[in-house]
Chains A and B, each alone.
Chain A
């Protein structure tokens, strides 16, 4: 088993929480993990990425090699495209489609969607809308993680357990909402794959 993942987004959107949830699930199993993340200046509203590598063998590089990523999980549509050079041609692109506009020259949404859907294996999901529906706008990142879950080869229950552990100290309500967000994301992706 080997999964090389690029997590993408804008500083403050919550990609590190996704990394923590997957990381916790992986460490509970016998798999190896390396996860490189961005700290410091770039976190202030800039483009951020995290490289997440999971394998049943020894992992050497902390960085995913260019052209070898099995999937990009992105919390922002334009950011999902920034890391194309890492993605395998048949890799999955799973992205939120609510834009985070904090630059004056942000591209047209229809052009972004065209690029995203132009990639063979893509899931474009409105994570912000779903998170709002379930009354937890801040759980957008868990919706997107849910949408990536069918491709992760990590049992879904293990991700749920991670959420219980990682969000546990924030109270039962937060845990429940994040679990709900995760399921909603997964359901969306599964329907999409069947099509």
Chain B
């Protein structure tokens, strides 16, 4: 059989397609983006007409997927870890409704925050919603897991999370494809009230969900992804989750590991396997890439019964991505000799591209804001967040998708003048429209810049949901037409743009300024199309 060279993200997507996927839903976000894009660009997906259009945000994606599951078909939702916060409402409740067709929620976490605001661990969400979590340790498992996840989802009527981390999402390896399953036909839920979470039904469903946990735990005990490898030396047991397992093995390439290793890649935790390790080993080292989730569960609040080592006692660092060297130290092995980085090497942070329209937008904004001093500009999530860095130093916040507008509203309410929001077109479509409605309703004195480069640039030029619709959306939520100003962010328009910005700062009410120029990465393509 053919070997495919795939990223962890792509392997998961190929697995889902081969396991009978009928629809993928998602919103781009590093490191999850390539899961969805793989389905989008797949010839097979096109032939089968698998749904593969980006959603406006993770919440709508999750709900759309739940609708497809309701209809009996297999569906995949993709997002980055913080996207699951946006989708948390439907996600947690999908645990209670349960599923009909198989529903897999693929979430990519970002330990070390390579491209994120935090390193939250989606396994917490799995436990919170009482749904099973798969955590592949390699690309082949990322391919195989959708088969088992769909099967588990349909057998027990539960959504299933597949949790990836950056290092697997964006690492390539050869994988083998297995059999290919047919898609499901439309089939409505047997119980017509299953998806009706009125309190009477919700209570019943919730009891069932709690009851289900015992069976799901049993599934974990028998899972091929959880494995106990015996070792002679019982002074230490190693409980390794997901990628953590690889880093343990990497340090034992020359000689077999003398300690027992419990590899865990399916949750809820397999209680018997863990009990065995705790019983037969003097100490247990817990290795997990992300937050000390399992470690916290096993330690318990009082942390006084077991002999556990891990991230919480400093055996491994409390924060950041794991790597082989960190494990080497934790295992008490001699570190390899290391050459230091020469002191002349300087940091090279990312920056806005040459010719990027955001550069001209920030140049104009900065000049207009000079007279008011620093601290007035609320930023958002996207390439333009780089406006924080030199030479612009243009924004004072970056919290979550859409927060620029809402925070500007709150600051304006507090009396800050001027209160400026800077948000990109796609982020505006994701979560900026509702706070703009708040702004209009409370007559907040803000200026919202919607930087329209016509694409989702940061994650790799995906289609933006609001392209061609921004002015209409703004008038639709009630922004006055004469205070929706479109400007051309170019040096040659600098004076004119400054003047417009000043006029809108002076206007007491909601203003929207739309600097519109295509991202340089799509500009050439657009010219060709014309």
Using CB atoms and an 8 Å cutoff, list the residues of chain A in contact with chain B. Answer: 10-11, 19, 23-24, 27, 32-47, 51, 57, 59-63, 65-68, 78-79, 81-82, 84-85, 87, 89, 102-108, 111-112, 115
Residue of A nearest to B9 (CB): A39
On whether A41 and B344 interact (CB within 8 A), knowing A11-B350, A34-B172, A66-B338, the answer reads no
The answer to whether B210 has its CB under 8 Å from any CB of chain A is no
CB-based contact A84/B342 at 8 Å:
yes
CB atoms of A44 and B339 under 8 A apart: no
B30 at the binding interface (Cβ < 8 Å):
yes
**Residues of chain B within 8 A of A67, CB atoms compared:** 325, 335-339
Give residues of chain B (329-376) contacting chain A, Cβ–Cβ below 8 Å.
335-342, 344-353
Please give the distance in Å from B116's CB to the nearest CB on chain A. 9
Q: How many whole Å from A44's CB to the nearest CB in chain B?
A: 4
Complex-state Cα separation, A27 to B173, whole angstroms: 9
Would A115 and B342 count as touching, CB distance under 8 A?
A: yes
Q: Which of B168, B324, B345, B351 contacts A45 (CB 8 A)?
A: B351
Does B174 contact A33, Cβ atoms closer than 8 Å?
yes
Known A-B contacts A23-B172, A62-B167, A62-B168; the reply to A84 vs B351 at CB < 8 A is no
Q: Which 5 A-B pairs have the closest CB atoms?
A: A67-B336, A40-B30, A46-B350, A40-B115, A65-B324
Does B528 reach chain A (CB closer than 8 Å)? no
Given the complex of chains A and B, what is the CA–CA distance between A143 and B24 in angstroms?
41
B60 sits at the interface (CB 8 A): no
Most buried by B among A24, A36, A81, A111: A36
Within the complex, the shortest CB–CB distance from A94 to chain B, in Å, comes to 16
- Pair A41/B171 contact, Cβ less than 8 Å: no
Residues of B near any A CB (own CB < 8 A): 3, 5, 30-31, 33-34, 114-115, 167-168, 170-174, 243, 246-247, 249-251, 253, 323-325, 328, 335-342, 344-353, 383, 386, 390, 458-460
A27:B3 contact, CB within 8 angstroms: yes
Question: B170, B335, B353: which contacts A36 (Cβ < 8 A)?
Answer: B170
* Complex partner residue of A23 from B5, B250, B353, CB under 8 angstroms: B5
Q: Which residues of B contact A60 (CB under 8 A)?
A: 246-247, 249-250, 253
Q: Are B170 and A37 in contact (CB under 8 A)?
A: yes
Let me know if B114 and A40 touch, CB within 8 A: yes
B114 touching A41, Cβ below 8 Å: yes
B246 and A44 form a contact (CB under 8 A):
no
Q: Of the candidates B338, B345, B352, which one forms a contact with A78 in the assembled complex, judged by CB atoms under 8 Å apart?
A: B345
- Which of A10, A19, A59, A87 is the one whose CB lies under 8 Å from B339? A87
Choose one: A35, A41, A45, A87; the contact of B30 (CB below 8 Å): A41
CB-nearest residue of chain B relative to A57?
B253
Kindly provide the distance from the CB of B76 to the nearest chain A CB, expressed in whole angstroms. Answer: 20
Q: Tell me whether A47 and B336 are in contact in the complex, defined as CB-CB below 8 angstroms, given that A60-B246, A82-B341 are known contacts.
A: no
Q: Is the CB of B167 within 8 A of A36?
A: yes
CB contacts (< 8 Å) of B246 on chain A: these are 60-62
* Chain A residues within 8 Å of B351, by CB: 44-46, 102
With most chain B CB atoms within 10 A of its CB, the pick from A24, A42, A61 is A61
Interface residue from A10, A44, A104 paired with B352 (Cβ < 8 Å): A44
A40 near B386 with CB under 8 A, answer no
Known: A40-B459, A41-B115, A81-B342. 18 other contacts (CB 8 A): A19-B172, A34-B171, A35-B171, A38-B114, A39-B33, A40-B114, A40-B458, A42-B115, A44-B351, A44-B386, A46-B351, A61-B250, A65-B328, A65-B336, A81-B345, A82-B345, A104-B390, A115-B344
Which residues of A lie under 8 Å from residue B31 when comparing CB positions?
39-40
Contacts of A82 in B (CB 8 A): 341, 345
For the complex, give the distance between the alpha carbons of A44 and B348 in Å: 10
Contact partner, B460, options A37, A39, A62, Cβ 8 Å: A39
Give bound CA distance, A103 to B344, whole Å: 13
| A36 and B328 alpha carbons, distance in the complex (Å) | 20
Docked pose: A107 CA to B390 CA in angstroms: 18
CB B370 to nearest CB in A, in angstroms, measures 22
Which residues of B have CB within 8 Å of A107?
A: 344-346
Smallest CB–CB gap between B13 and chain A, Å? 15
Q: How far is the CA of A152 from the CA of B5 in the complex (A)?
A: 19
Q: How far is the CB of A100 from chain B (nearest CB, A)?
A: 9
